[in-house]
Amino acid sequence: MDLLTKLYEQKDLELEEMKILSRQIFQGELSEAQIGALLIGLKIKGETAEEMAGLAETIREFSVPIDTELTDTICNCGTGGDLSNSFNISTTASFVLAAGGMKVAKTGNRSISSKAGSFDTCEALGIDFLVSAEQQAQQLAEINLTFLFAPHVHPRMKYVMPARKTLGTPTIMNLIGPLTNPVPLEYQLMGINRRSLLEKTAETIKKLGRKRAIVVNGPYEMDEASLAGETHYVLLADGLITRHVITPEDVGLPYYDYEAIRGGDATENAKILLNVLKGEKSAYYDTVLLNAGLGLFAGGKVSSVQEGVHEANQLLQSGEAYQVLTDLLAFQANLKVGNK
């Protein structure tokens, strides 16, 4: 049976079948109409973990390779699209994770549904993210942190963008963005904006071969952990997927209203990030503690989220997290001088 026809008949695709269709997309063999029909067919039927994993693996096949044999590699990134207009939580937390010994390959993009995407804020900080794959690998090895700009590392996404823009609705592409990291990851902290997809996303991550992972959905369906109420997450560890709920009280942090972590434009978000890294206490600071604590727990650096929050606080108060930013900017500046 033709695979598109199978999909139109509301039948699930196997992982290898999804990879066949995905390769046709990224080799330019499907028309915009066919790609649109594929995306909508999956959305109406409901995407499976096999389909999500097949698409994610194929996008990685066609990505710019980042050659590294490092261990402790992690990506902490969300799907976006929660319309919360929060500050750049995961971007700020990535410096804490790097200070904690994780090799953080942070994927992201410019603003789509917020005032400033992670890479708008990186640009405001002076971070160059349009660097070679070799430099990305070097930054990861020496600084513990590199930022991977999605359009830069996934050039073949040009084949699917016209259909996505025409459709104007979230599709499977929105669900699997953080799973397409070209760095071979051992760990993952992923936020999603739909609580109903926690387990399915964890199943997808399991199929992609991660050692440990946490998939999180915060209060008000945020794609980050938040102190505005209950944060729901699933943990993938030792091949098992378990569901958990965490509250501010559980980790010794105060409750903050949803509005307390609103962000602004790139300049304002960069200022928030700097204040957090410099140890200034605030709702922003405590929210980073929670998310960094989850990341350290996802990466097996600590035995609980509570311990992770404590460790994150130490890394911020000691200046180690801020030092990662300083080191990254100095590293890039030295390379530019050397290349003149």
Tell me phi and psi for residue 108, to 5 degrees. 175, -170
Q: Annotated binding residue at 118?
A: yes
Say whether 57 counts as a known binding-site residue: no
Partners of 215 in the β-ladder: 190, 234
Whether residue 224 is annotated as binding a ligand: the answer is yes
Check the annotation: does 78 bind a ligand: yes
The whole-angstrom separation of Cα 65 and Cα 208 is 17
Report which of 164, 159, 259 is spatially closest to residue 219, judged by C-alpha positions: 259
Any known ligand binding at 22? no
d(CA 198, CA 184): 22
Q: Which residue spans within 8-141 are E strands per DSSP?
A: 73-78, 103-108
Write the CA distances from 144 to 77, 94, 103, 181, 206, integer angstroms: 16, 10, 5, 16, 24
Other beta carbons less than 10 A from residue 230's beta carbon: 13
Q: 31 among the known binding-site residues? A: no
Query: Is residue 91 a known part of a binding site?
Result: yes
In single-letter form, the type of residue at position 124 comes to A
Q: Does the annotation flag 166 for ligand binding?
A: no
**Residues facing 262 on adjacent strands:** 86
84 is in an annotated binding site: no
Does 223 carry a binding-site annotation? yes
Q: Is 90 one of the annotated binding-site residues?
A: yes
**338 annotated as a binding-site residue:** no
Which residue in this structure is represented by tokens 């929060």?
Answer: 86
Q: Any known ligand binding at 303?
A: no
- Cβ-in-10-Å burial (0-12, 13-18, 19+) of 246 comes to buried
111 labeled binding residue: yes
Binding residue positions for anthranilate: 78, 109, 164
Binding residue positions for 5-phospho-alpha-D-ribose 1-diphosphate: 78, 81-82, 86, 88-91, 106-114, 118
Binding residue positions for Mg(2+): 90, 223-224
Binding residue positions: 78, 81-82, 86, 88-91, 106-114, 118, 164, 223-224
